[in-house]
Amino acid sequence: MLVVLLNTFSDALWDTFRLFPFLLVTYLVLEYLEGKTGEKTLNLIQKSGRFGVPIGALCGLVPQCGLAAAASNFYAARVISGGALVAVFLATSDEMLPILISNAVSVEQIVKILLLKMAAGLLWGMVFDLICRRLLQLKPQAIDVETLCHNEKCQCEEGGILKSAFNHSLKISLFVLIVTWLFNLLVISVGVASLSTWISHPFIGPMVAGLVGLIPNCSASVVITQLYLENAITFGTMMSGLLVGAGVGLLVLYRVNPRIKENLLLTLYLYAVGVFSGCMIDWLF
Protein backbone atom coordinates (compact mmCIF):
# COMPACT_ATOMS: atom_id res chain seq x y z
CA MET A 1 0.00 0.00 0.00
CA LEU A 2 2.83 2.37 0.85
CA VAL A 3 4.43 1.71 -2.54
CA VAL A 4 1.15 2.57 -4.29
CA LEU A 5 0.84 5.80 -2.32
CA LEU A 6 4.40 6.81 -3.13
CA ASN A 7 4.12 5.93 -6.83
CA THR A 8 0.84 7.77 -7.33
CA PHE A 9 2.17 10.78 -5.42
CA SER A 10 5.34 10.88 -7.52
CA ASP A 11 3.25 10.79 -10.71
CA ALA A 12 1.06 13.62 -9.42
CA LEU A 13 4.13 15.58 -8.37
CA TRP A 14 5.69 15.25 -11.82
CA ASP A 15 2.46 16.37 -13.55
CA THR A 16 2.27 19.37 -11.22
CA PHE A 17 5.94 20.21 -11.76
CA ARG A 18 5.38 20.36 -15.53
CA LEU A 19 2.29 22.52 -15.03
CA PHE A 20 3.93 25.14 -12.81
CA PRO A 21 5.84 27.05 -15.56
CA PHE A 22 2.62 27.51 -17.55
CA LEU A 23 0.83 28.85 -14.49
CA LEU A 24 3.69 31.21 -13.65
CA VAL A 25 3.78 32.68 -17.16
CA THR A 26 -0.01 32.99 -17.19
CA TYR A 27 -0.12 34.91 -13.93
CA LEU A 28 2.78 37.12 -14.97
CA VAL A 29 0.79 38.09 -18.07
CA LEU A 30 -2.36 38.71 -16.02
CA GLU A 31 -0.48 40.78 -13.48
CA TYR A 32 1.10 42.79 -16.27
CA LEU A 33 -2.31 43.43 -17.83
CA GLU A 34 -3.61 44.57 -14.48
CA GLY A 35 -0.74 46.73 -13.32
CA LYS A 36 1.20 47.95 -16.34
CA THR A 37 -1.07 48.39 -19.31
CA GLY A 38 -3.50 51.19 -19.86
CA GLU A 39 -7.23 51.10 -20.42
CA LYS A 40 -6.83 51.32 -24.20
CA THR A 41 -4.72 48.17 -24.28
CA LEU A 42 -7.24 46.23 -22.19
CA ASN A 43 -10.08 47.39 -24.44
CA LEU A 44 -8.11 46.28 -27.50
CA ILE A 45 -7.68 42.79 -26.03
CA GLN A 46 -11.39 42.56 -25.32
CA LYS A 47 -12.43 43.73 -28.78
CA SER A 48 -10.22 41.11 -30.40
CA GLY A 49 -12.15 38.43 -28.51
CA ARG A 50 -13.93 37.22 -31.66
CA PHE A 51 -10.58 35.90 -32.86
CA GLY A 52 -10.09 33.99 -29.61
CA VAL A 53 -11.89 30.84 -30.81
CA PRO A 54 -9.69 30.14 -33.88
CA ILE A 55 -6.56 31.11 -31.94
CA GLY A 56 -7.60 28.84 -29.07
CA ALA A 57 -8.31 25.94 -31.43
CA LEU A 58 -4.86 26.35 -32.97
CA CYS A 59 -2.93 26.83 -29.73
CA GLY A 60 -4.72 23.90 -28.09
CA LEU A 61 -2.85 21.49 -30.39
CA VAL A 62 0.34 21.97 -28.38
CA PRO A 63 0.82 18.64 -26.51
CA GLN A 64 0.73 20.08 -22.99
CA CYS A 65 -2.23 20.29 -20.61
CA GLY A 66 -0.61 23.43 -19.17
CA LEU A 67 -2.10 25.52 -21.96
CA ALA A 68 -5.60 24.42 -20.94
CA ALA A 69 -4.81 25.50 -17.39
CA ALA A 70 -3.57 28.85 -18.67
CA ALA A 71 -6.75 29.29 -20.71
CA SER A 72 -8.85 28.62 -17.60
CA ASN A 73 -7.10 31.44 -15.79
CA PHE A 74 -7.55 33.81 -18.73
CA TYR A 75 -11.26 32.93 -18.87
CA ALA A 76 -11.69 33.48 -15.13
CA ALA A 77 -10.14 36.93 -15.60
CA ARG A 78 -12.41 37.53 -18.62
CA VAL A 79 -9.48 37.97 -21.01
CA ILE A 80 -10.94 35.31 -23.35
CA SER A 81 -14.51 34.16 -24.01
CA GLY A 82 -16.14 30.90 -23.02
CA GLY A 83 -16.03 29.81 -26.66
CA ALA A 84 -12.27 30.37 -26.80
CA LEU A 85 -11.90 28.27 -23.65
CA VAL A 86 -14.02 25.49 -25.19
CA ALA A 87 -11.86 25.64 -28.32
CA VAL A 88 -8.69 25.18 -26.28
CA PHE A 89 -10.18 22.32 -24.27
CA LEU A 90 -11.41 20.41 -27.34
CA ALA A 91 -8.23 20.93 -29.34
CA THR A 92 -5.80 20.22 -26.51
CA SER A 93 -3.59 17.28 -27.44
CA ASP A 94 -2.35 16.62 -23.90
CA GLU A 95 -0.24 13.42 -23.87
CA MET A 96 -1.90 11.94 -26.97
CA LEU A 97 0.68 13.18 -29.45
CA PRO A 98 3.77 11.73 -27.72
CA ILE A 99 2.00 8.35 -27.40
CA LEU A 100 1.11 8.29 -31.11
CA ILE A 101 4.63 9.25 -32.16
CA SER A 102 6.27 6.72 -29.85
CA ASN A 103 4.09 3.98 -31.36
CA ALA A 104 5.15 4.91 -34.90
CA VAL A 105 1.65 5.93 -36.00
CA SER A 106 1.67 7.28 -39.55
CA VAL A 107 2.01 11.01 -40.10
CA GLU A 108 -1.24 11.02 -42.09
CA GLN A 109 -3.16 9.51 -39.17
CA ILE A 110 -1.66 11.93 -36.66
CA VAL A 111 -2.46 14.91 -38.89
CA LYS A 112 -6.05 13.67 -39.32
CA ILE A 113 -6.52 13.42 -35.55
CA LEU A 114 -5.06 16.88 -34.96
CA LEU A 115 -7.17 18.47 -37.71
CA LEU A 116 -10.33 16.83 -36.34
CA LYS A 117 -9.59 18.15 -32.86
CA MET A 118 -8.87 21.63 -34.19
CA ALA A 119 -12.03 21.60 -36.34
CA ALA A 120 -14.13 20.49 -33.36
CA GLY A 121 -12.63 23.24 -31.22
CA LEU A 122 -13.32 25.86 -33.87
CA LEU A 123 -16.89 24.71 -34.55
CA TRP A 124 -18.11 24.11 -31.03
CA GLY A 125 -16.28 27.13 -29.63
CA MET A 126 -18.08 29.40 -32.08
CA VAL A 127 -21.39 27.69 -31.32
CA PHE A 128 -20.87 28.19 -27.58
CA ASP A 129 -20.20 31.92 -27.98
CA LEU A 130 -23.23 32.19 -30.26
CA ILE A 131 -25.45 30.46 -27.69
CA CYS A 132 -24.18 32.71 -24.90
CA ARG A 133 -24.63 35.94 -26.84
CA ARG A 134 -27.82 35.26 -28.80
CA LEU A 135 -29.88 32.73 -26.89
CA LEU A 136 -28.77 33.28 -23.30
CA GLN A 137 -28.27 37.04 -23.81
CA LEU A 138 -24.89 36.90 -22.06
CA LYS A 139 -22.62 39.76 -23.10
CA PRO A 140 -18.82 39.88 -22.78
CA GLN A 141 -17.78 41.32 -19.43
CA ALA A 142 -14.95 43.63 -18.54
CA ILE A 143 -11.52 42.18 -17.86
CA ASP A 144 -11.60 41.35 -14.17
CA VAL A 145 -8.14 40.50 -12.87
CA GLU A 146 -8.95 42.14 -9.51
CA THR A 147 -11.66 39.56 -8.73
CA LEU A 148 -9.28 36.73 -9.54
CA CYS A 149 -6.71 38.18 -7.18
CA HIS A 150 -9.30 38.80 -4.47
CA ASN A 151 -10.53 35.20 -4.61
CA GLU A 152 -6.97 33.92 -4.24
CA LYS A 153 -6.15 36.42 -1.44
CA CYS A 154 -2.81 36.99 -3.11
CA GLN A 155 -2.15 40.56 -1.84
CA CYS A 156 -0.98 41.58 -5.30
CA GLU A 157 -0.05 45.08 -4.19
CA GLU A 158 2.75 43.69 -2.03
CA GLY A 159 6.08 42.59 -3.50
CA GLY A 160 5.49 43.28 -7.18
CA ILE A 161 4.07 41.17 -9.99
CA LEU A 162 6.71 38.42 -9.79
CA LYS A 163 5.93 37.61 -6.16
CA SER A 164 2.20 37.80 -6.78
CA ALA A 165 2.39 35.56 -9.85
CA PHE A 166 4.54 33.06 -7.94
CA ASN A 167 2.05 32.97 -5.04
CA HIS A 168 -0.86 32.42 -7.44
CA SER A 169 0.99 29.63 -9.24
CA LEU A 170 2.07 27.93 -6.02
CA LYS A 171 -1.48 27.87 -4.59
CA ILE A 172 -2.97 26.41 -7.77
CA SER A 173 -0.12 23.90 -8.10
CA LEU A 174 -0.66 22.62 -4.54
CA PHE A 175 -4.37 22.26 -5.22
CA VAL A 176 -3.69 20.36 -8.46
CA LEU A 177 -1.14 18.14 -6.72
CA ILE A 178 -3.58 17.02 -4.02
CA VAL A 179 -6.52 16.42 -6.36
CA THR A 180 -4.39 14.69 -9.00
CA TRP A 181 -2.97 12.37 -6.34
CA LEU A 182 -6.47 11.45 -5.20
CA PHE A 183 -7.57 10.77 -8.77
CA ASN A 184 -4.49 8.61 -9.36
CA LEU A 185 -5.46 6.53 -6.33
CA LEU A 186 -9.02 6.27 -7.66
CA VAL A 187 -7.86 5.04 -11.05
CA ILE A 188 -5.60 2.47 -9.37
CA SER A 189 -8.46 1.22 -7.19
CA VAL A 190 -10.89 0.93 -10.12
CA GLY A 191 -8.33 -0.64 -12.40
CA VAL A 192 -7.45 0.02 -16.02
CA ALA A 193 -8.93 -3.36 -17.01
CA SER A 194 -12.36 -2.35 -15.72
CA LEU A 195 -12.18 0.94 -17.59
CA SER A 196 -11.16 -0.89 -20.76
CA THR A 197 -14.19 -3.19 -20.53
CA TRP A 198 -16.64 -0.30 -20.34
CA ILE A 199 -14.94 1.89 -22.95
CA SER A 200 -14.84 -0.95 -25.49
CA HIS A 201 -18.62 -1.45 -25.26
CA PRO A 202 -20.09 -0.85 -28.77
CA PHE A 203 -22.96 1.34 -27.59
CA ILE A 204 -21.90 3.16 -24.45
CA GLY A 205 -18.19 3.27 -25.29
CA PRO A 206 -18.12 6.94 -26.43
CA MET A 207 -20.02 8.07 -23.34
CA VAL A 208 -17.69 6.19 -21.01
CA ALA A 209 -14.65 7.47 -22.91
CA GLY A 210 -16.00 11.00 -22.43
CA LEU A 211 -16.29 10.40 -18.69
CA VAL A 212 -12.73 9.12 -18.58
CA GLY A 213 -11.66 12.21 -20.53
CA LEU A 214 -13.17 14.40 -17.82
CA ILE A 215 -10.70 13.00 -15.28
CA PRO A 216 -8.45 16.01 -14.57
CA ASN A 217 -5.25 14.13 -15.16
CA CYS A 218 -2.91 13.89 -18.13
CA SER A 219 -2.88 10.10 -17.81
CA ALA A 220 -6.49 9.87 -19.05
CA SER A 221 -5.44 10.63 -22.62
CA VAL A 222 -2.64 8.06 -22.34
CA VAL A 223 -5.09 5.30 -21.40
CA ILE A 224 -7.57 6.21 -24.15
CA THR A 225 -4.92 6.50 -26.86
CA GLN A 226 -3.27 3.24 -25.85
CA LEU A 227 -6.59 1.39 -25.96
CA TYR A 228 -7.14 2.63 -29.51
CA LEU A 229 -3.65 1.55 -30.57
CA GLU A 230 -4.42 -1.90 -29.17
CA ASN A 231 -7.66 -2.00 -31.24
CA ALA A 232 -9.73 -2.20 -28.06
CA ILE A 233 -11.89 0.82 -28.99
CA THR A 234 -13.02 2.49 -32.20
CA PHE A 235 -11.56 5.65 -33.68
CA GLY A 236 -14.67 7.65 -32.75
CA THR A 237 -14.61 6.38 -29.17
CA MET A 238 -11.00 7.48 -28.86
CA MET A 239 -11.89 10.90 -30.25
CA SER A 240 -14.75 11.25 -27.73
CA GLY A 241 -12.35 10.78 -24.85
CA LEU A 242 -9.60 12.94 -26.34
CA LEU A 243 -11.97 15.79 -27.22
CA VAL A 244 -13.46 15.90 -23.73
CA GLY A 245 -10.08 15.47 -22.05
CA ALA A 246 -8.44 18.79 -21.22
CA GLY A 247 -5.88 17.57 -18.72
CA VAL A 248 -6.01 19.69 -15.58
CA GLY A 249 -7.73 22.53 -17.43
CA LEU A 250 -11.14 21.84 -15.89
CA LEU A 251 -9.61 21.32 -12.47
CA VAL A 252 -7.94 24.74 -12.62
CA LEU A 253 -11.16 26.30 -13.93
CA TYR A 254 -13.12 25.14 -10.87
CA ARG A 255 -10.33 26.41 -8.64
CA VAL A 256 -9.94 29.92 -10.07
CA ASN A 257 -13.43 30.72 -11.35
CA PRO A 258 -15.98 31.27 -8.55
CA ARG A 259 -18.92 31.20 -10.98
CA ILE A 260 -19.96 27.58 -10.37
CA LYS A 261 -22.93 27.61 -12.77
CA GLU A 262 -20.64 28.72 -15.59
CA ASN A 263 -18.19 25.95 -14.76
CA LEU A 264 -20.94 23.33 -14.77
CA LEU A 265 -22.34 24.65 -18.06
CA LEU A 266 -18.90 24.52 -19.67
CA THR A 267 -18.30 20.99 -18.36
CA LEU A 268 -21.65 19.65 -19.58
CA TYR A 269 -21.22 21.35 -22.94
CA LEU A 270 -17.71 19.98 -23.35
CA TYR A 271 -18.86 16.46 -22.53
CA ALA A 272 -21.93 16.62 -24.80
CA VAL A 273 -20.16 17.95 -27.89
CA GLY A 274 -17.17 15.66 -27.34
CA VAL A 275 -19.29 12.51 -27.19
CA PHE A 276 -21.51 13.68 -30.07
CA SER A 277 -18.47 14.45 -32.22
CA GLY A 278 -16.97 11.04 -31.50
CA CYS A 279 -20.21 9.29 -32.51
CA MET A 280 -20.39 11.33 -35.71
CA ILE A 281 -16.76 10.51 -36.52
CA ASP A 282 -17.47 6.78 -36.20
CA TRP A 283 -20.52 7.18 -38.44
CA LEU A 284 -18.65 9.21 -41.08
CA PHE A 285 -15.33 7.38 -41.05
Q: What are 46-86's pLDDT values in tens digits?
A: 555 567 788 888 877 766 666 788 888 888 888 888 898 99
What three-state secondary structure class fits 259?
coil
Q: What is the mean pLDDT of residues 182-194?
A: 66
Q: What percent of the chain has pLDDT above 70? A: 72
Quick: pLDDT tens for 255-266.
888 889 889 999
CB neighbour burial string for 23-52, b if at least 16 within 10 angstroms, e if fewer: bbebbbbbbebbeeeeeeebeebbeebeeb
**How far apart, in whole angstroms, are the C-alpha atoms of residue 114 and residue 143?**
31
Give the rounded distance of the alpha carbon of 25 from its chain centre: 17
- Whether residue 143 is predicted with pLDDT greater than 80 in this model: the reply is no
CA atoms within 13 A on the CB side of 262: 19
- Whether residue 94 is predicted with pLDDT greater than 90 in this model: the reply is no
Q: What angle do CA 223, 228, 229 make, to 5 degrees?
A: 95
pLDDT value at residue 45: 47
Kindly report the length of the chain.
285
Dihedral sign for Cα atoms in the order 52, 55, 61, 63: negative
**What is the domain range of residue 148?**
2-284
CA atoms within 13 A on the CB side of 3: 0
* Other Cβ atoms closer than 10 A to 154: 21
Enter the pTM of the model. 0.76
Domain count of the fold of the chain: 1
| Range name among 27-31, 70-74, 191-195, 211-215 with the lowest pLDDT average | 191-195
